[in-house]
Chain A
Amino acid sequence: MNHTLRMNIHKVEGALIRLLGLIERRGFSVTSMNAHSDDARQEVEITVHLRSAGRSVETLARQIEKLYDVRSVACLTSGEQAIVMGESVAC
């Protein structure tokens, strides 16, 4: 599934890497991205195109929203069915 997220984050040390690290760690890959820094407002607007094999982008958006430096998250692609992981493959 392909998704697009648009986010506004505080322009502070570590905010961008924290955001991108979370996206990859939660099972999404970035297919393209665009970042624009607004020095006057001390924020960065980031648009990220994502791909995942079956993870919920809505859950990802809520996880991103929890980051302290994130001001807003918008999911620009349409909603999805709630995804339930089929089986436990944990060790």
Chain B
Amino acid sequence: MSMKGAELVVRALEQQGVEYIFGYPGGAIMPVYDALLNSPIKHILARHEQGASLAADAYARVTGRPAVCMATSGPGATNLVTGIANAFMDSVPMVVITGQVPTVVMGTDAFQEVDVFGITMPIVKHSFIIRRAEDIPKTIALAFQIAAEGRPGPVLVDLPKDISNAVPTAASIFEMRKSKRASPDPRQVQIARELIMNAERPVLYGGGGIPMAGAVDAFRAYARASGIPTVTTLKGIGSLPTRDETYLGMLGMHGNRAANRAIQESDLLICIGARFDDRATGRLDGFAPKAKVIHMDADPSEIGKLRHADAGLLGDLLESLAAMPTGLSIAPWQQWCAERKAEHAWRYDAPGEYIYVPDMLRRLTEAAPDVTIACDVGQHQMWVAQHCHFDRPEQHLTSAGLGTMGYGVPAGIGACLARPGARVVTVSGDGSIMMNIQELATIRRYGLDLKILLVDNSSLGMVRQWQQLFHGERYSEVDLSDNPDFVEVAKSFGIPGFRITRRDEVDGAIRRLLETEGPLLAHVCIDPKSNVWPLVPPGQSNDVMMEELSA
């Protein structure tokens, strides 16, 4: 029996082991939705395509496998774009399927026609327009392979409606090329070994490439065996458990002072799966000015892109890490770092009556060490990165490269589905949550056990902080004091909620979040003037860390 193109699509997805598709139906993709009715694949209906693409992103981060999102042509496709860019910036494997108008009318400005292939070109790892139904199985298989291999990323497959309705004449046979896992150059390995043996003040600078490469265990084994003080980027958090003795914290703009000072003092920076992002480095020519650099990455174009690498180790991280020397004589440096860590340990004795968010977040992860936190973007995101404890990087879902407000709720949805039974909390802000508030309906529809900790300062806090510090307190469009009643909003979506405003309510709120069955929203009202500290001003070197201004 011959199958229609749409059925070939669904069959190809089944062959890839796809369990969930995140999407939203519409005209041009209807044949695929029809074929889905006969498939064991479960479809998660988001209430906006952006919610679907961001949920898929988080699902992929937690499972480590390419996730699938799908939408129709035109507005369906353009609504996916933010999620695609988010996955691209954070190297998340994702296969995006968009319906397209029939090939005969492509290029005629047909109803709901948009050139999504062209629109997304700078934010995909690769993309296809399928022109023949025969090519469907091969194209879908290739999309998964490209999305996952090397440095992962999103792959878009644009599927015209006449192709998904067509019955191909011949069954297509294809062979996938073996994906190659390159080994690092032995000469570079030797140079790196010598650099480490001769270093007096080495630092491990770990990034999101560690979990992406499945190298978390190898990384922590090397960090512990070598005793080299470790800092991570936002995406690298959890690669070494945050409670480990040699872990100094996140580096960069809102990094821990000990982490930034260690980097600035170091004579050897061992960069593992990170990319010298400006949020991490601050002013680039002032970043780790005394250090030589070893750069390990899966992506050849990252080595030497922003900072010269004295040794560049491409390819398999497991192999590179296993080849690095231990038994180093760096006791004085370890001692110095331990002292800085103690000196700059976070303090939680903030004065005043308002709920102190860093302390609340710390208590949350102390009460539930297994919790997965899906963050939104803004001040609360930085507080999570600074103060929460994580044992694994998959426990911390955050939109790092793109900084997508609205990530938190869909990401929580993706995480709940990726790991059924896991404890998942979305930490959001009053600005961010409104960007994808419609996904509360998705939580309700699928009965997901997602908790939401909504930190509300009645403003766009991070922008307000910058206007206060760098724009002479000229506040422009940051006041959100006319927010809706979030507890009532949740209630109207069928999600219970409660509100706290005082410090003595925090422990009770955490207990409720952790002990309640089913979804729950905690609305936490905080000081509208709270700021994130420390802060490296934009364009400055990481030596320049501003601290809390005295009131």
Contacts and interface: CB of A to CB of B under 8 A. Distances in A.
A88 B301 contact: no
Contact of B118 (A17, A58, A69, A91): A17
Given A14-B129, A25-B122, A86 B301 contact: no
Nearest to A61: B301
A55 to B, nearest CB: 10
Interface string A50-91: 000000101100110111110000000000001011111111
Given A66-B299, A90-B538, A85 B126 contact: no
A84 B539 CA distance: 16
A65 B300 CA distance: 9
Given A59-B305, A68-B126, A87 B539 contact: yes
A39 interface: no
Contacts of B117: 13-14
B304 A59 contact: yes
B286 to A, nearest CB: 8
B503 interface: no
A39 B117 CA distance: 24
Nearest to B118: A17
B301 A91 contact: no
Contact of A89 (B306, B307, B539): B539
Contacts of B307: 84
Interface in B317-368: none
A21 B300 CA distance: 20
A82 B121 contact: no
Interface residues of A, number: 26
Interface string B114-138: 0001100110011101010000000
B301 A59 contact: yes
A14 B127 contact: yes
Contacts of A68: 125-126, 146
Nearest to A91: B538
Majority secondary structure of chain B interface residues (helix, strand, loop or mixed): mixed
Given A21-B122, A25-B122, A88-B278, A62 B301 contact: yes
Interface in B281-303: 281-285, 299-301
Interface string A1-33: 000000000000110011001100100000000
B234 to A, nearest CB: 15
Contacts of B306: 84-85
A86 B278 CA distance: 12
Nearest to B279: A90
Given A13-B129, A17-B121, A25-B122, A88 B284 contact: yes
B11 to A, nearest CB: 24
A88 B282 contact: yes
A82 B131 CA distance: 43
B378 to A, nearest CB: 15
B284 A85 contact: yes
Nearest to A85: B284
Given A59-B301, A65-B300, A68-B146, A88 B283 contact: yes
B474 interface: no
Nearest to B151: A66
A13 B146 contact: no
A18 B283 contact: no
A5 to B, nearest CB: 14
A22 B123 CA distance: 11
Given A84-B307, A85-B306, A66 B538 contact: no
Contacts of A59: 301, 304-305
B121 A86 contact: no
B148 to A, nearest CB: 13
B78 to A, nearest CB: 18
B300 A66 contact: yes
A68 B117 CA distance: 15
Contacts of A85: 284-285, 306
Of listed A59, A68, A86, A88, residue having the most chain B CB within 10 A: A88
Contacts of A25: 122
Nearest to B536: A88
B281 A88 contact: yes
A66 B146 CA distance: 11
A61 to B, nearest CB: 9
A68 B301 CA distance: 14
Contact of B300 (A14, A22, A62): A62
**Chain A CB within 10 Å, residue with most, of B117, B121, B125, B301:** B301
B295 to A, nearest CB: 12
A84 B285 contact: yes
A66 B131 contact: no
B284 A87 contact: yes
Interface of A: 13-14, 17-18, 21-22, 25, 56, 58-59, 62-63, 65-69, 82, 84-91
12 contacts: A14-B127, A17-B118, A18-B121, A21-B121, A65-B300, A67-B126, A69-B126, A85-B306, A86-B285, A87-B539, A88-B282, A91-B538
